Amino acid sequence: MVELYILLIFMIVGAIIAIEVKDLLSSVVAVGAVGLALSIVFLVLKAPDVAITQLVVELLCLIILIRATLKRDLPFSTSGRWFLNTMITIGFIIVLLLVAAKSFTDLPPFGFPIMRVASHYLNNGLSQTGASNIVSAVILDYRAYDTLGEATVLFTAVIGVLAIVRRIGRKKVGEKVKEEDE
């Protein structure tokens, strides 16, 4: 339990560094450290499936961010209304904390979840689906409809990114674009 708190404090410090530091590359590295600590948190909480997914997605995002920010001088947006922005942020945080303190008292304590639906999956998952990895059994058999929706979301995201970024939509009139530049 102690290592969990150490990792959480490390993640909070990393997030603050990522916001406050001026250099973009250092900020990206700090975000990567936060993601790696989150994957270790998932391992400590005994969820290796989520830990593997978090680790590899973090690596891919880190590579994309580093390649996108390494040689660019992106302008640092500093507006003059910092006082109003800070006040609005603090107000939202106070409202959120009040609502959370009200609602989190009804939750069961950490490590003792309510097992209404999950106990059925844990007891009958192996015999009903034949998959010994219970996470696979849930996301691809019991809750496969959710996975279909998630796959649709990813498909739409890929289509959207390719439609915005591709070269052929931004060419001028009469300009010819080669096949590989699309």
Partner 1 sequence: MSREKTKGMSIIVKTITRLTVGLVLLYGIYIVLHGHVSPGGGFAGGVIITLSFVHLVLAYGKDTALKKLSKARASFLENMGAILFLSIALLGFMGGYFFSNFIPKGEPFHLFSAGIIPISNIAISLKVGAGLFSIFVALVLLKLKPTSEKKK
Chain residues in the site for partner 1 (CB under 8 A)? 48-49, 52-53, 56-57, 59-60, 63-64, 67-68, 71-72, 126, 129-133, 135-137, 139-141, 144-145, 147-148, 151, 154-155, 157-158, 161-162, 165-167, 180-182
What's the min distance (Å) between Cβ of 82 and partner 1? Answer: 30
Give the closest residue to 27 by CA, choosing from 87, 74, 90, 60.
74
Report the residue number, 30 or 39, with the smaller CB distance to partner 1: 39
In the complex with partner 1, the residue whose CB is nearer, 71 or 81, is 71
Q: Choose between 87 and 143: whose C-beta lies nearer to partner 1.
A: 143
The pair of structure tokens assigned to 95 is 């409202």
Q: How far is the CB of 157 from partner 1 (least distance, A)?
A: 8
CA distance 127 to 148: 24
Nearer CB in complex with partner 1: 92/182: 182
In angstroms, give the least distance from the CB of 50 to partner 1.
9
* Closer CB to partner 1, 16 or 170, in the complex: 170
**Mutual angle of helices 24-44 and 2-20, in 10-degree steps:** 160
Least separation in angstroms between CB 39 and partner 1:
11
